[in-house]
A = this chain, B = another copy of it.
Amino acid sequence: MPVKRRASRLSPEKRTADILVAARAVFAERGYSDTVMAEIAERAGVVEGSIYRYFRNKRDLMFQMAEAWFEALIKTDEATLGAIGGARNRLRFIIHRHLTAIHEEPDLSRLVFQHLRPDPDYRETRLFALNRAYTARVVEVVKAGVAAGEIRGDVSASLVRDVIFGSIEHRTWAFLRHEGDFDIERLSDQLVDHVWAGLAVPGVQADIGAALARIEARMAARD
């Protein structure tokens, strides 16, 4: 008579967490297509069927895994960012933080870029919301900088956001393909220098520039 091994009954939370941990490891190692549910189950110490009690399907599991990762990533940032003064410093912190995340988890980062973000329903996911909050910090910093007179008033904050995150991604693709490495500090400096050059109020000319900007704004409003 075969011995029935009944898995110890864990709390759903613990079970979910175990699966997420296993999923994270496997997805990172293999990418989406080459990840097999059976391997996740094995590593999590459950059977395949059990995964489907907690996650709708493979895609859902990947999303929840990425969300959990991302959430942990963001958690500590708020406090830190609050403690930093000056738009430039704050931008550098955000850039540095993002570069660090990519550097530490290149495979998960690539997974997000390659399989999560292009998903047709990405916009409906929690990951999208999380990421939106994540990148919105740039927008907030820029707007605060404008208000504080540190940054030119005619700057599009959302464009700055796209410039920052887009540049970083483009710059790090080779690394994400496991080709070479990059220097977080150096790249942070380069990027913030470059971005700031396009943002900073150019000194005494600021007045003339501001006046012209106002004229332009009025004309735009008439269109």
Contacts and interface: CB of A to CB of B under 8 A. Distances in A.
Interface in A142-199: 152, 155-156, 159-163, 165-171, 173-174, 176-179, 190-191, 194-199
Which of A173, A207, A222 has the most C-beta atoms of chain B within 10 angstroms of its own C-beta? A207
B118 A177 contact: yes
Given A165-B170, A166-B169, A177 B216 contact: no
B123 A118 contact: no
B218 A218 contact: no
Task: Give the number of copies in the complex.
Answer: 4
B155 A162 contact: no
Nearest to A2: B11
Interface residues of A, number: 59
A165 B173 CA distance: 12
Contacts of A169: 166, 169-170
A33 interface: yes
A174 B132 CA distance: 12
A203 interface: yes
Given A163-B194, A167-B162, A177-B120, A214 B216 contact: yes
A170 B172 CA distance: 14
B122 A118 contact: no
Given A118-B177, A166-B169, A167-B163, A156 B207 contact: no
Interface of A: 33, 110, 113-115, 117-120, 122-123, 152, 155-156, 159-163, 165-171, 173-174, 176-179, 190-191, 194-199, 202-205, 207-209, 211-216, 218-223
Given A163-B194, A167-B159, A208 B219 contact: no
A190 B76 CA distance: 34
Contacts of A194: 155-156, 159-160, 163, 198
A123 B176 CA distance: 12
Nearest to A114: B118
Nearest to A120: B177
A160 B198 CA distance: 12
A223 B218 contact: yes
A185 B30 CA distance: 41
